[in-house]
Structure 1
Amino acid sequence: MGIIVQEQAGLFHLQSSGMSYIFQIVDGYPVHVYWGSRLKHREPMTDLLIHTPKNAGLDRLPQEYPQYGSGDFRNPAYQVELEDGTRITELKYKGYRLIKGKPSLTGLPAVYTGDETEADTLELELTDAYSDLQVVLSYSIFADRNAIVRSARLGNQGEKKLRLRRALSTSVDFPGKRDFELTYLSGAWAREGNITRTPLHQGETRIDSKRGMSSHQLNPFAALVTPETTESQGEAFGFSLVYSGGFEAAAEVDSFGSTRFSIGINSFDFAWLLSPGESFQTPETVMVYSGQGLGDMSRTYHRLYRTRLCRGKYRDEERPILVNNWEATYFDFNADKLVSIAEEGAKLGIELFVLDDGWFGKRDSDNSSLGDWVEDRRKLPGGLKDVAERINRLGLKFGLWVEPEMISPDSELYRKHPDWCLHVPERRRTEARWQLVLDYTRQEVRDFIYDSLSAIFSSVPVSYVKWDMNRCLTEIGSADLPPERQSETAHRYVLGLYELLERITTAFPHILFESCSSGGGRFDPGMLYYMPQTWTSDNTDAVERLKIQYGTSLVYPVSAIGAHVSAVPNHQVGRITPLDFRGDVAMSGNFGYELDLTKFTEEDKERVKRQILTYKEVRGLVQRGDLFRLQSPFEGNESAWMFVSEDKEEALVYYFQVMAVPNAPQRFLRLAGLDPELEYEIHSGYSGEQLIHGGDRLMQLGLPLAYEQKDYESGWFRVRAVKPVTV
């Protein structure tokens, strides 16, 4: 049993194979006791019970779902406004329920189980006697993963309306002084995935998004780590929010050194009206504990998200190698040009051709036609079906770019339905990229988009869809909502998006959907539930991608990371890097090309053929293996990582040097994740050299690396077990 209840002491012990999470009921309040490495359960566990100074009040209690206004002056997990304008509620413990497995969340993406033996769920019921507010805290713990999934459901059991002003998913208090540091992902468009690490001090350290989307700037993930925590040692407590809208995450250190971490929907500009009998479900937080550094935390997230968040046909299938025409042609193409790129792709071994922006309406630039999802017969005289079938005859599958959440003011749809965008009456409508955001809170809008896309997907042999979203939400209001519900618009938008994605991915299960938001602007677990991969960044420069892909892997599996080889000089930064270097970086994700294949030299074509052949041999390991980050691009001139099979008998190692170093020292790359008792044959991908070393030597001494005096050097090694080490 993964959940042990010691009723007399009011103690709840959630236990996985390597982790324990414990809280108890103190004076009616759920109080946090412990989260960390697994503890044996002993009856009674009275030595663990929380003892606070007499008359200390709630400000000294480490709580599970704290309130404000009754003596706790730290960040609350929720706030409710009553009809009389007061905002004081006091949740007290009422009861609990144990459930085998893990229930789904209505209308929200969620981690799931393959069968009910994988997890156990505790539902803890709290009530406020005065307002009849009911809160059900849900805790699901996986038997063989150091992960707990938490969420909250807030319900109005009374006869008067309640208004939620704050409804976070999770709050965890770490009692006692802990010198935590906060690790999170920051950045901007084309600079996603920067790993930021900052010490916590008394007061609040906060990250958030007010953009109506998870954002390029800050990702809905953070981890509390100890100062000594590295990739391979030290404690890490990860928090990942399964949500695609505005979020907040905060770590607050009080005057006694205790730390409170909370995460959920952003409280800024949020309110939700609860009529009698109604309830509100928060998104869930996936909490991961590691006692062996950030790498172990990441691998727990990777395995869980790859196999128990992603769904559908492509969850376990190897992803196709593609070519996308965007940087090859932008808007300037016709059917013959597209087919000519596909012809070269077929000769090189590419498996999928993706037609990007510019195929619909009168879309000759990005200032028109979004919403008019009808093929442009000027560019495609035979229509999409003709192009797709011509490409299919070459042996390639056909993919398509869409941006269904947006509308151009210069479009037939906008001229017919100017109220279908998010807007506030009599106020300016802020355009970004000459486009506005469709109001996905409205059923008729979602139905129109569903019908428009279904007509295409049903008549054209589409195997892949790149679903883009190229701007944040502004003027967040809906013509379909009454005044008292306008502050619900942002969250209702996300719920509407999820409803549409569920419909369309269910209707077309054969299509591989890839999420995109100007690159990584909505790279979050919520989108992975519907689309198993994401276009990681619009920046395709290989040097920049070292950081972007390394940082993104802190929480997201490599199977979710889209990575392409693009032309040089690079279109984002102007850098010129060798084709081998670009290929090695891109092969460390879902591999593809984004350039004009017809412009390759014969030498380039031979290199690309080798890249594609190699990736077809190793992509199962790249997409499903355990990732070990060996050297960080944020810390020096070199980067390295490796992928290891579950049985530790096979590995793939990549290393990169950005700039040449004069009079360079001998280099050894210490590997990880291997079996120290096995011997491994190492095959160099470029030199062809073969070596045999023991797993212990490769991990302790390291793999010797040859050095070449050149910028942008890269290399890769196949590692295979051959026989046990002879002592």
Structure 2
Amino acid sequence: MININEKNLEFHLKNEQISYIFRVMEETEIMEQLYFGASIDEYDQYDFLIERESKPGNNQIEGSQITNLDDIKQELPVYGTTDFRQPALEIVYPNGDRISHFAYDRYEIRQGKMRLKGLPSTFGSSEDVEILVIFLKDRYSDMEVELHYAIYKDFPVITRQNIIRNHGTTTYQLESFLSLNLDMPNENYEWLHLHGAWAREAQLSRDKLIIGTQQITSTRGASSHMHNPFFALATPETTENQGRAYGFSLIYSGNFLAQIQLDTYDIARIQLGINPFQFSWELAGNASFTTPEAVMVYSENGLNGMSQTFHNFYKEHLINQKWVHKTRPVLINNWEATYFDFDEEKILTIASKAKDLGIDLFVLDDGWFGTRDTDDGSLGNWTPDLRKLPNGITGLAEKIVDLGLQFGLWFEPEMVSVDTPLFSEHPDWRIGNPKKHISHGRNQFVLDFSRPEVVENIFEQMDKILSTAPISYIKWDMNRYISESFSATLGRKNQGELFHRYILGVYALYEKILDKYPGLLIESCAGGGGRFDSALLYYAPQAWASDDTDAVERLRIQYGTSMVYPLSSIGSHVSEVPNHQVGRLTSLEMRANVAMFGTFGYELDITHFDEAESAEIRKQIKTFKNYQTLIHEGDFYRLKSPFGNNETAWLVVSKDKKEALVGWYQVLAKPNPAYQRLRLTGLAAEKTYIVNEDGQETLRKGKDLMSAGVLLGENLINRSEGEQSHKRYGDFQSRLFYLSEK
């Protein structure tokens, strides 16, 4: 898949779906970007892709007017080289200057890609993936940069990752080092990204590129509720099902920068990586620094094609393979049923009812440790509260397992409260300058996970619980951002390293836990979707998408999240009504039909349900279990967007096109609604499908379902008016259609 023209030093990464081409420039030996897009043929040379016109402004080579880098597409632009756009690499030299020149030296080709320790990344066998490594040497120092490009046989994907190595003894200061730089000719592109806040994450925006810089970032120590480390470019005519789209995702959970700088020559500089804001890294002699990995996706089949590539690629080459094809348990979490007010008897009552309903896993949420009756204490004191649980976690877990359920437990390991022994003994273990004000966030402070001894202490506390109780699941929460960034152990010149070292510490704790408990299922959470990113999927195959569990709000949240993340990773529950976040009343059916397209579970007090409601839950669980493999392993298509619309629709189609599940949702009722059909997509045109809705079956051809669609109104011919079911009457309606090959 890697083709090299040794004479011209042109590099072509190619499979049946994509091509990525770049070259070494004459004289300057800088890496020049030529093409990224649909697969093209191999040629003896790629002169037809080189754009070079005379520019009398600043030029690299005296006497030449075609070495103005401000007009040339590059793989690793640096400061001080006649390129006045944003660099991807910026270094401070000992005398204070920032002028670099990294020139081509050599290349290597490697087969296969191993899972890494310490930094999440994609992986694949030697049959699946090839890696091209380009080595660049700095003309002014003993530093060397490695540009890593991975191409996968079966996916329209290129991954990018960079390493800088200091082979000398002089110390340099790394001020910026991004994972990806891609200079692309603009084609009137629009850019899509996910934004929001707590309880309204993953809101989708689509806007036209304008001259200047458009960016999304995090400076909060986590990828954040506000922006997700993902964005896409699409041509104006691109829809969900057709047109060209380019997707970019960063495998990182900390401060990130994702930006597009459109210049006056209509070149879009696309950059993705660690946010340079508040970042600085001391690169000592014989030291190195590795960037997070960035993933680039190309689609000729619209946004659905882009999303399906991300979904399938992450399932096969990022998420732990132990979980990708394994049935996930349907769980119940006690949080909205009890909050902090529970005891062993109350928990066992809920668990017993859960078993009766067909639930697989009981999760005990916040409040089981220390003396935590509110959210203002006990974090960092991971010892069971014997007032509530006289037999401890071990005793409770054993009783729940004896009922026939699995047992799961909530932790927030990165935080500390002032009323704990941990804080009393180690006040300097929290992030912040003790000589200055340190802000509260949810009545708690952030532990300094840049320090290995802090990570080790929390691991030992968690290990003491995990080693003595039958725990099969952890909900790993994180409920506040980092402010007043300062570490007591980092020197003056190293404080800019804290944010990155912190997230490396988080990864280290994940790895320590999973190394000892490889069968543990972890669901990541950060006040909902505050750290829903691809890096954590490397460790935790599912993530809590949002603390907002309202079915209507979840339509937008889950729709947006699906742009890049697979349904099997989207934590989605049926919760209480009136909803605890927005106060809305939706039916049990509506709530389940939305949560169905995710991991599926419950978060409400089932002990108050009457027999009719209990029977409905049993039916929902049975339905989900019947469709779970289809939902989690099929191809997901978005049909109608909830953003700006009253209706939402989506479907999942099995890989072999033999079955599909359609979800349709209406927020507000309309008087005298218009005639309406929902056109499907992704089916096999020639197949005949049995379309089943609540036991009523019709036979339809795939071609017809994609052309004429599914009727959303009613046909009362040969039926009495008394039989009218009013399927679209009332607010907050939903319908499921199951299709199976005849």
Please classify the TM superposition score into its range, dividing by the shorter chain length. Answer: over 0.9
**Partner of residue 69, structure 2:** 58
Check 1:103–1:344 CA distance in 2 against 1; reply closer, same or farther (3 A cut): closer
Secondary structure of 2:557 counterpart:
helix
Alpha-carbon separation, structure 1, partners of 2:118 and 2:450: 13
The equivalent position to 1:162 in structure 2, one of 172, 177, 181, is 172
Alpha-carbon separation, structure 1, partners of 2:11 and 2:705: 44
Secondary structure of 1:241 counterpart:
strand
- Quote how far apart the aligned CAs of 1:234 are: 1.4
**Partner of residue 644, structure 1:** 653
Alpha-carbon separation, structure 2, partners of 1:52 and 1:344: 74
Q: Is the 8 A contact 1:178 1:259 kept in 2?
A: no
Give the letter aligned to residue 145 of structure 1. F
Alpha-carbon separation, structure 1, partners of 2:321 and 2:2: 30
Q: Is the 8 A contact 1:422 1:475 kept in 2?
A: yes
The equivalent position to 1:696 in structure 2, one of 690, 693, 703, is 703
Q: How does 1:13-28 map to 2 (within 5 A)?
A: 13-27=12-26, 28=29
**Partner of residue 556, structure 2:** 547
Q: Is the 8 A contact 1:361 1:376 kept in 2?
A: yes
Q: Is the 8 A contact 2:428 2:434 kept in 1?
A: no
**Partner of residue 725, structure 1:** none
Alpha-carbon separation, structure 1, partners of 2:45 and 2:252: 39
Q: Is the 8 A contact 1:668 1:705 kept in 2?
A: yes
**Partner of residue 41, structure 2:** 40
Deviations 1:622-642 (CA, angstroms, capped at 9, x unpaired): 111110111111131111111
Q: Work out whether 1:92 is the aligned partner of 2:112.
A: no
Secondary structure of 1:630 counterpart:
strand
- Quote how far apart the aligned CAs of 1:106 are: 5.0
Q: How does 1:331-370 map to 2 (within 5 A)?
A: 331-370=340-379
Give the letter aligned to residue 708 of structure 1. R
Alpha-carbon separation, structure 2, partners of 1:104 and 1:370: 32
- How many positions carry a matched residue from both structures? 717
Alpha-carbon separation, structure 1, partners of 2:294 and 2:15: 17
**Partner of residue 129, structure 1:** 139
Alpha-carbon separation, structure 2, partners of 1:165 and 1:535: 34
Deviations 1:40-74 (CA, angstroms, capped at 9, x unpaired): 11223333334343614000100011012221010
Alpha-carbon separation, structure 2, partners of 1:683 and 1:180: 41
Alpha-carbon separation, structure 1, partners of 2:210 and 2:142: 37
The equivalent position to 1:69 in structure 2, one of 72, 80, 86, is 80
Give the letter aligned to residue 168 of structure 1. L
Q: Work out whether 1:524 is the aligned partner of 2:533.
A: yes
Give the letter aligned to residue 79 of structure 2. Y
Q: How does 1:485-564 map to 2 (within 5 A)?
A: 485-564=494-573
Alpha-carbon separation, structure 2, partners of 1:47 and 1:296: 29
Deviations 1:644-664 (CA, angstroms, capped at 9, x unpaired): 111111111111011111111
Alpha-carbon separation, structure 2, partners of 1:33 and 1:544: 43
Alpha-carbon separation, structure 1, partners of 2:91 and 2:629: 49
Give the letter aligned to residue 97 of structure 2. T
- Quote how far apart the aligned CAs of 1:209 are: 0.3
Alpha-carbon separation, structure 2, partners of 1:52 and 1:197: 33
Deviations 1:97-147 (CA, angstroms, capped at 9, x unpaired): 11112254452100111x211011100111111122211100000111000
The equivalent position to 2:490 in structure 1, one of 478, 481, 498, is 481
Deviations 1:199-250 (CA, angstroms, capped at 9, x unpaired): 1111100110000100000000011111111101111111100000000011
Q: Work out whether 1:714 is the aligned partner of 2:715.
A: no
- Quote how far apart the aligned CAs of 1:721 are: 1.2
Secondary structure of 2:619 counterpart:
helix
Deviations 1:547-603 (CA, angstroms, capped at 9, x unpaired): 000000000000100000011100000000011000100111101000111011221
**Partner of residue 717, structure 2:** none
Secondary structure of 2:216 counterpart:
strand
Secondary structure of 1:643 counterpart:
strand
The equivalent position to 1:222 in structure 2, one of 228, 231, 235, is 231
Alpha-carbon separation, structure 1, partners of 2:47 and 2:646: 52
Give the letter aligned to residue 107 of structure 2. Y
Q: Percent identity?
A: 47
**Structure 2, unpaired ranges of 5+:** 56-64, 714-726
**Partner of residue 270, structure 1:** 279
- Quote how far apart the aligned CAs of 1:512 are: 0.6
- Quote how far apart the aligned CAs of 1:279 are: 0.7
Deviations 1:291-319 (CA, angstroms, capped at 9, x unpaired): 11110000000001122111153232111
**Partner of residue 636, structure 2:** 627
Q: Work out whether 1:297 is the aligned partner of 2:271.
A: no
- Quote how far apart the aligned CAs of 1:701 are: 1.5
Please say which of residues 607-616 and 304-313 is displaced more in the overlay.
304-313
The equivalent position to 1:146 in structure 2, one of 145, 152, 156, is 156
Q: How does 1:174-213 map to 2 (within 5 A)?
A: 174-175=184-185, 177-213=186-222
The equivalent position to 1:314 in structure 2, one of 309, 320, 323, is 323
Alpha-carbon separation, structure 2, partners of 1:647 and 1:282: 38
Alpha-carbon separation, structure 2, partners of 1:650 and 1:43: 46
**Partner of residue 3, structure 2:** 4
**Partner of residue 616, structure 1:** 625
**Partner of residue 600, structure 1:** 609
**Partner of residue 251, structure 2:** 242
Q: Is the 8 A contact 1:90 1:128 kept in 2?
A: yes
Alpha-carbon separation, structure 2, partners of 1:583 and 1:425: 48
Q: Is the 8 A contact 1:9 1:46 kept in 2?
A: no
Secondary structure of 2:43 counterpart:
coil
Alpha-carbon separation, structure 2, partners of 1:330 and 1:578: 22
Alpha-carbon separation, structure 1, partners of 2:540 and 2:456: 20
CA RMSD, Structure 1 to Structure 2 (Å): 1.1
Q: Work out whether 1:429 is the aligned partner of 2:432.
A: no
Secondary structure of 1:117 counterpart:
coil
Give the letter aligned to residue 691 of structure 1. T
Give the letter aligned to residue 342 of structure 1. A
- Quote how far apart the aligned CAs of 1:425 are: 3.4
Secondary structure of 2:424 counterpart:
helix
Q: Is the 8 A contact 1:680 1:692 kept in 2?
A: yes
Give the letter aligned to residue 490 of structure 1. F
Give the letter aligned to residue 663 of structure 1. N
Secondary structure of 1:116 counterpart:
coil
Give the letter aligned to residue 489 of structure 1. L
Give the letter aligned to residue 18 of structure 2. M
Q: Is the 8 A contact 1:679 1:695 kept in 2?
A: yes
- Quote how far apart the aligned CAs of 1:182 are: 1.2
Q: Is the 8 A contact 1:24 1:49 kept in 2?
A: no
Secondary structure of 1:459 counterpart:
coil
- Quote how far apart the aligned CAs of 1:269 are: 0.6
- Quote how far apart the aligned CAs of 1:408 are: 0.5
Alpha-carbon separation, structure 1, partners of 2:240 and 2:386: 54
The equivalent position to 1:465 in structure 2, one of 467, 471, 474, is 474
Alpha-carbon separation, structure 2, partners of 1:459 and 1:545: 37
**Partner of residue 31, structure 1:** 32
The list of structure 1 runs, each at least 4 consecutive aligned residues, that deviate by more than 4 angstroms after superposition, is 103-106
Alpha-carbon separation, structure 1, partners of 2:114 and 2:383: 40
Alpha-carbon separation, structure 2, partners of 1:44 and 1:163: 39
Q: Is the 8 A contact 1:409 1:434 kept in 2?
A: no
Give the letter aligned to residue 682 of structure 1. V
Deviations 1:160-195 (CA, angstroms, capped at 9, x unpaired): 1111000100000013x4211111100000000101
